[in-house]
Amino acid sequence: MKKFLYTILIILIIVGSFWAGSWYSQRKAVKVDPSAVKSIPVTVEEETETDTSSMAPGTVRITPERQQAIGVRLGVVDKKPVTHTLRILGRVAADETKIYRINASVDGWIKEIYPNSVGSLVKKDEVLATFYSPQFLDAEQGYLYALGTVERLGPGRRLELGRKEAPNPAALDPYVVQRQIDVLRGMGMGDTQIEEVGRTRQITQDIKITAPADGFVIARNVSPEQRFLKGTELYRITDLSRVWILADVFEHEARYFKPGVKAKVHLPHQKRTYQATVSEVLPIFDPTTRTLKVRLETDNPEFVLRPDMFVDVELPISLPPAVTVPADAVLDSGLKKTVFVDRGYGFFEPLEVETGWHIGNRVEIVKGLKPGERIVISGNFLIDSESRLELAAAGMVGTLSKDPVCGIDVSISKAEKAGRKSTYQGKVYYFTSDECKEQFDKNPERYVKQ
């Protein structure tokens, strides 16, 4: 019984092995069947022949594999309003209209100095120092004499012209006191001290140097017992309640900084923002940096902004709808500006364009492109090198001609192959497209004159 079972098992194994071998042979034969290979569909690019006769000379074809290798990226030309924030670096400066220089009006020497070094905040009429000058003795004596005479004779009193005694000058001139006050003020005495001399009727030898306004001491050129001459600058004080922001901008950016325009000023690392206004003063051109120095003005509460500090200036800009592309998409050779347009099936055509404003990473296209066109925005340098080689080859095997309507160079051989040529007055003209040829045929004399 066991032998019978073993015999049947061996037969089943042999039959199974034979069947498996037959199935594998049939499967292998299907893989190498020539008819199966012919049934593989051909891609659109392989069975499509693109007509490049209407494309500009220098058009190149790059396979998708090579596009990926050289990093080609495409973008779409659009037309929409542009909103941008122009960021530049600014420097804080003191308002020149609020800088006060205290100069010596007479010769003298310093007697006492009060604790107000450079950087100190002083108030109006605060005493900075005292000095002595012998010239003040006569001036103060004249002031007291004028006061006494006016008080003795009475205000507005006049001597009769018929009297024989000599008239009193103080009585004849009601402004004699004011003239003496002006003399003291011109020599450097403050109004507060002048009033004190007139009230006490005492001549003082200690002339006070006082602050003309609230501000910070930015220069101090005095020391105890120091002698000085007339015209010497003793103190310099500036009011920092309102400061200037000086910024260097390029010529194409200066037109956005119109007088009265508002901008934001940021103080780095302090998270403070100030509202600044562009000054009415015209920008000054710096021939060294080839920039324009724009001045903005802003309030300075708490005196946080100090001269020579750097700040960030942000100016919001809003422009009407315009055709724009990324700045990297435009190749500027100095003589012309070129953009590569995707014509499909791996063809890239160079087009010469005219640009307008340039803000941030966007460039306005005035002429040459239309909204919706696909252009190369990355890797165009390598495409441009192949395009130049293509142009060089076209110059060797054939000649180029200028389309009189579109103004684009066209390959004569390609135009003849596409039938885009016309003869006028014995001369043959070649065209980049059928539309250009039709316009020429309607009025050839117009384009020939151009």
109: phi then psi, degrees, rounded to nearest 5: -145, 150
- Report pLDDT digits (tens) over 418-446: 778 888 887 888 887 888 888 888 888 77
Given a cut of 60, whether residue 417 has pLDDT beyond it is yes
Q: What is the pLDDT of residue 13?
A: 65
Count of all residues that appear for the chain in the document: 450
Higher pLDDT, 161 or 21: 21
Name the least confident of 220-229, 279-288, 390-399: 390-399
Instruction: Return d(Cα 281, Cα 250) in angstroms, integer.
Output: 17
Higher pLDDT, 52 or 419: 419
Q: What is the pLDDT of residue 312?
A: 94
Q: What is the pLDDT of residue 252?
A: 79
Q: CB neighbours (10 Å) of residue 132?
A: 15
Mean pLDDT of 30-40: 33
Instruction: Return d(Cα 405, Cα 156) in angstroms, integer.
Output: 95
For the chain, give every domain's residue range. 85-95+243-320, 99-158+169-238
Given a cut of 90, whether residue 401 has pLDDT beyond it is no
Contacts of 170 (CB under 8 A, 6+ apart): 145, 146, 149, 150, 153, 176
For residue 332 the two structure tokens come to 């500027």
Among 77-86, 222-231, 387-396, the range with the most confident prediction by mean pLDDT is: 222-231
- The confidence band for 50, taking pLDDT boundaries of 50, 70 and 90, is low
Per the confidence metrics, is the pTM higher than 0.75? no
Instruction: Give bridge partners of residue 424 from the DSSP assignment.
Output: 427
Mean pLDDT of 268-293: 87
Q: Quick one: what percent of the chain has pLDDT higher than 90?
A: 31
Higher pLDDT, 167 or 260: 260
- The confidence band for 174, taking pLDDT boundaries of 50, 70 and 90, is low
Given a cut of 90, whether residue 298 has pLDDT beyond it is yes
Given a cut of 80, whether residue 198 has pLDDT beyond it is yes
Q: What is the pLDDT of residue 393?
A: 59
Contacts of 139 (CB under 8 A, 6+ apart): 180, 183, 184, 187
- Report pLDDT digits (tens) over 4-20: 555 666 666 665 665 55
Q: What is the pLDDT of residue 16?
A: 61
**How far, in whole angstroms, is CA 12 from its chain's centroid?**
89
- The confidence band for 121, taking pLDDT boundaries of 50, 70 and 90, is very high
Instruction: Return d(Cα 323, Cα 310) in angstroms, integer.
Output: 36
Mean pLDDT of 190-197: 90
- Signed CA dihedral, 410, 414, 420, 421: sign only: positive
Name the least confident of 256-270, 403-417, 422-436: 403-417
What is the overall mean pLDDT for the chain?
A: 80
Given a cut of 80, whether residue 350 has pLDDT beyond it is yes
Q: What is the pLDDT of residue 42?
A: 34
Mean pLDDT of 124-152: 89
Among 66-80, 142-156, 233-247, 251-265, the range with the most confident prediction by mean pLDDT is: 233-247
Comparing CA positions, the residue from 190, 209, 189 lying closest to residue 139 is 189
Higher pLDDT, 52 or 93: 93
CATH T-level fold of 99-158+169-238: OB fold (Dihydrolipoamide Acetyltransferase, E2P) (2.40.50)
Q: What is the pLDDT of residue 161?
A: 32
Instruction: Return d(Cα 15, Cα 27) in angstroms, integer.
Output: 19
Q: What is the pLDDT of residue 247?
A: 92
Instruction: Return d(Cα 408, Cα 427) in angstroms, integer.
Output: 18
CATH T-level fold of 85-95+243-320: Elongation Factor Tu (Ef-tu); domain 3 (2.40.30)
DSSP structure class, residue 99 = E
Q: What is the pLDDT of residue 20?
A: 57
- Report pLDDT digits (tens) over 135-146: 999 899 999 988
Q: What is the pLDDT of residue 109?
A: 92
* Alpha carbons within 13 A on the beta-carbon side of 61: 8
- The confidence band for 333, taking pLDDT boundaries of 50, 70 and 90, is confident
What CA dihedral angle connects 337, 342, 346 and 351, to 10 degrees?
Answer: -30
